[in-house]
Each structure stands twice: as C-alpha cells, then as structure tokens.
Chains A and B, each alone.
Chain A
Amino acid sequence: NAGVTQTPKFRVLKTGQSMTLLCAQDMNHEYMYWYRQDPGMGLRLIHYSVGEGTTAKGEVPDGYNVSRLKKQNFLLGLESAAPSQTSVYFCASSYSTGRFDSPLHFGNGTRLTVT
C-alpha cells in the first residue's frame, strides 16, 4: 500500500536549470496538491488539481508549472530554478466529498537545493 510517492527524494540544481518533480498516488483520489515547506512559514500551496486535466493556482504559483494528465500523477515543473526555490516540496492527495473536508494524504517530500 504505497499511498503517495514522490520522486526524487533529494535534488541539487544550479540556478537556471530545470527539473520535474513527480507525484504518484494509488488511492484513486480526485484531488492532488503541491506544497512547499520553509522554516517558520508552514506549508504554502503552490498549485492544486481537482481532477484529471484540471489545475489551479495556489498561494505561491510563480516560477512553477504543473500538469495532471493522468488521475494518479501530478507533476511539478521548475523551468528556470532560482535559489529562492530551495525548499522541501510535498505532494498530497485527497478524495472527493464535494465539500473539500476530506483529509490530505502526504508524500514524504522532496528536498531541493538550488545553488
């Protein structure tokens, strides 16, 4: 029972490089989310998706793009990495109740350092 799986676990990028973070869930959840966690700031929502083929912006979307081509996968892309994007990235998913009160299931995070 894998739950939410994030790859890679660690990555170091140079400024200007690009990369894609992959999130996969095996719980048939409708909703998926990408958060970043920074010390003293809690988790901030980057982008989210309420279904296959749909995405929406969260609190801090600038510098990131996402895609949800398959229900079980949610990709987060950095086109041109900046040091300010050094963070721990968490993917989460939840099932649909129509009221958005279902709990989030989190992956174990990706630690990204941009030098």
Chain B
Amino acid sequence: AQSVTQLGSHVSVSEGALVLLRCNYSSSVPPYLFWYVQYPNQGLQLLLKYTSAATLVKGINGFEAEFKKSETSFHLTKPSAHMSDAAEYFCAVTEGNQGGKLIFGQGTELSVKP
C-alpha cells in the first residue's frame, strides 16, 4: 500500500536561508508525487508535482523537488526563504491504478524568522 512520511513536524529557518522539507514515500508501482501548501484558514494549494517526466520538478514561488527512486524520496527545497513562505506543507502520493486516492503525509509546519 502507498504511504508518505514527512520527517519533522516543525522546521524553522531564518529569512534568506535554505529551506529543506523531507518526504519519503512507499509505493508498489511508479508513483505520482505532489507537494501542497496550506496557509492559515485556507485550503491546500498545489506547489508542484512529479508524474514520471523530469526527476527535478520546479514549482511555484521558487520551490523545487527532486524525485530519487533509489532513496524513495521527494524532498522539497527553496534556496532562499521568504517570510511569506511560512505555512504548512504536505507531501502526497497516488498510484495511477488506485482510482484517484491521494494519500497525504502528516505535514510540516515551516516557520521563517526575520
């Protein structure tokens, strides 16, 4: 069965520092992987997705993620954090043969210090 593990429920960085949010997945078939962001009192918005094309995926707001099959990872990075990046981030996985079931990780709350 597919599953997602996000390492670290809270991550704190200084403004301008590198952002690294970790995600490991388990899937019996090649997965589709997603990162979503949630700002306070809002629904989730798509940051980026991996669907078996390029392994390095670029998303909105300067974020990118790299699919590493050997490590079953899909970590999210941003070279320089901005105050507006403070939010909760969710990694999610689906398998193409699972009829649309998207499974989310537990979430990582990102804080950005001035």
Contacts and interface: CB of A to CB of B under 8 A. Distances in A.
A94 B107 contact: no
Contacts of A99: 32, 51, 96
B21 to A, nearest CB: 13
B44 A100 contact: no
Contacts of A35: 104
A43 B46 contact: no
Given A4-B43, A42-B90, A106-B44, A58 B101 contact: yes
A90 B100 contact: no
A101 B51 contact: yes
Interface residues of B, number: 28
A41 interface: yes
B50 to A, nearest CB: 9
A94 B34 CA distance: 14
A50 B97 CA distance: 13
Interface of A: 4, 31, 33, 35, 40-45, 48, 50, 56, 58-59, 90, 92, 94, 99-101, 103-104, 106-109
Interface of B: 4, 6, 9, 32, 34, 36, 41-46, 49, 51, 90, 94-96, 98-107
Given A101-B96, A104-B102, A108-B42, 15 more contacts: A33-B102, A40-B9, A40-B106, A40-B107, A48-B101, A50-B99, A56-B99, A59-B103, A94-B100, A100-B98, A100-B99, A101-B94, A103-B46, A106-B44, A109-B42
